């Protein structure tokens, strides 16, 4: 019985030693590939280092009374775009209620962006209109200026109240 225990112990020790050797060989090969720049170049011969995009940030106040407020931010097609909004505004309805950048939680017929909730913060670049809400991250599908607005019906902006504080971060080249 003692001989069987010793044989089992030797087998287990041999297996552990084999695993340690395999792990060491793997780590040495991995380290050599990363440390040798010629190895990296052979993996991606067409790769050339590129500079990260230049990210600019601008803060604007978007009034609820203006349909398609021009932020003055000009974007190229494919530009990275991050928008964060805070504040409250109202569409002037009765009773008077104020909403955050995500809007009322309900759609309303005839709004400037029919797929977004009433009173939500929405955007437009070129001809493309989209929901911004409290947080937006994406890429510009067209070139042009970034416009922002409360999502309301085109004929009712004069009764709106409030503003949204909006921080826009975007890549520029």
Is the backbone of residue 72 left (phi > 0), alpha (psi -120 to 50) or beta?
left
**What are phi and psi for residue 157, nearest 5 degrees?**
-70, -25
Separation of alpha carbons 53 and 163, rounded Å: 30
Residue pair 112/148 in contact by the 8 Å Cβ criterion: no
Contacts (Cβ under 8 Å, ≥6 apart) of 138: 81, 130
pLDDT, one tens digit for every residue, the chain (173 residues) = 555 566 666 766 776 776 677 766 666 665 444 444 444 333 444 445 565 679 999 999 999 999 999 999 999 999 999 999 999 999 999 999 999 999 999 999 999 999 999 999 999 999 999 999 999 999 999 999 999 999 999 999 999 999 999 999 999 75
Burial of 87 (0-12, 13-18, 19+ CB in 10 A): middle
Residue pair 77/141 in contact by the 8 Å Cβ criterion: yes
What's the pLDDT at 34?
44
Helix (H, G, I), strand (E, B), or coil: what is residue 22?
helix
What's the pLDDT at 148?
98
């Amino acid at each position: 019985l003692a001989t069987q225990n010793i044989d089992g112990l030797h087998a287990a020790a041999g297996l552990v030693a084999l695993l340690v050797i395999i792990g060491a060989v793997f780590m040495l090969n991995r380290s050599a590939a990363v440390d040798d720049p010629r190895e990296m170049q052979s993996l991606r011969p067409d790769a050339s280092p590129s500079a990260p995009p230049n990210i600019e940030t601008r803060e604007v106040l978007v009034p609820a009374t203006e349909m398609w407020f021009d932020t003055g931010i000009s974007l190229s097609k494919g530009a990275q775009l991050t928008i964060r909004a805070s504040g409250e505004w109202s569409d002037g309805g009765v009773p008077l209620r104020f909403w955050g950048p995500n809007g009322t939680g309900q759609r309303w017929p005839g709004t400037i962006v029919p797929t977004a909730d009433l009173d939500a913060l929405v955007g437009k670049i070129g001809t493309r209109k989209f929901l911004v809400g409290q947080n937006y991250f994406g890429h510009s599908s067209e070139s042009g200026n970034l416009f922002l607005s409360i999502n309301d019906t085109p004929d009712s902006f004069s009764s709106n109240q409030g503003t949204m504080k909006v921080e826009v971060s975007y890549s520029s080249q």
